[in-house]
């Protein structure tokens, strides 16, 4: 069965965005060591899951070829199939993307049951919180930026019951970001 991973940028105080969606706390430029780490994380991925709001900026930005990104990363992002989670869209306005709505657990389980490589979710906020709360992830990769913002959109909101995680790896990078790789402890 395919692995379902979450990759999310976060502040040291656990926010993935500021109170108004701000992302100005993210650390750039990245160094070669973090780019290599993310390249290895993304290598087995052949499906990207996004929330609708994130998809509206993410997909067009990669299609335009973001400045500073190498062509291999741009090609990987554009060629990888995307599943946009939305209950308001009925069809995809983007190339190489499909819209899925309804029961998130069923959508994820159906995707995981299909043949293929790993699936990765990048967000947005509602999707991340729902994936965590419903315990649908096999791996959680937090990229902790060396900034605290005091308020905003928490990564772990509305989790319901306590969720136990096992730290698989912690990797600091030259740019100041630290990757924390967790797996859920399930009984």
| pLDDT tens profile 149-167 | 999 999 998 787 788 999 9
- Contact between 154 and 168 under an 8 Å Cβ cutoff? The reply is no
Average pLDDT over residues 106-135: 95
Catalogue all structural domains in the chain, each as residue range(s) with its CATH number.
4-175 (3.40.430.10)
pLDDT range class, residue 64, cuts 50, 70, 90: very high
Contacts of 84-89 with CB under 8 Å at 24 or more apart are 84/49, 84/50, 84/51, 84/52, 84/55, 85/49, 85/50, 85/51, 85/52, 85/127, 86/51, 86/52, 86/55, 88/52, 89/52
DSSP character string of the chain: ---EEEEEEEETTSEEE-TTS--TTS--SPPHHHHHHHHHHHTTEEEEEEEHHHHHHHHHHHHT--TT--HHHHHHHHHSEEEEE-SS-SS-SSTTEEEE-S-HHHHHHHHHHSSSSEEEEEE-HHHHHHHHHTT--SEEEEEEES---SSSEESS-S--S---EEEEEEEE-TTS-EEEEEEE---
pTM over 0.75, yes/no: yes
- Range with the lowest mean pLDDT among 31-40, 94-103, 158-167, 176-185? 158-167
What are the structure tokens assigned to 111, written together?
């995707």
Confidence of residue 132 (pLDDT cuts 50, 70, 90): very high
Determine the distance from the C-alpha atom of residue 17 to the mean position of all C-alpha atoms in its chain, rounded to a whole number. 13
């Amino acid at each position: 069965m395919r692995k379902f991973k979450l990759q999310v940028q976060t502040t040291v105080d656990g926010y993935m965005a500021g109170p108004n969606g701000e992302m100005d706390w993210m650390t750039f430029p990245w160094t070669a060591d973090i780019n290599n780490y993310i390249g290895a994380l993304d290598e087995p991925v052949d499906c990207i899951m996004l929330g609708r709001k994130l998809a509206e900026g993410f997909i067009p930005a990669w299609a335009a070829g973001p400045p500073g990104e190498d062509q291999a990363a741009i090609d990987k992002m554009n060629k990888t199939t995307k599943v946009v989670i939305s209950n308001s869209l009925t069809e995809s306005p983007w190339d190489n993307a499909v819209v899925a709505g309804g029961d998130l657990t069923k959508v994820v389980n159906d995707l995981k049951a299909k043949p293929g490589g790993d699936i990765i979710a990048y967000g947005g906020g509602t999707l991340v919180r729902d994936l965590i709360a419903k315990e649908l992830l096999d791996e959680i990769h937090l990229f902790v930026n060396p900034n605290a913002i005091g308020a905003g959109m928490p990564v772990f909101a509305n989790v319901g019951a306590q969720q136990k995680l096992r730290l698989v790896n912690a990797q600091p990078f030259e740019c100041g970001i630290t990757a924390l790789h967790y797996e859920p402890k399930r009984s």
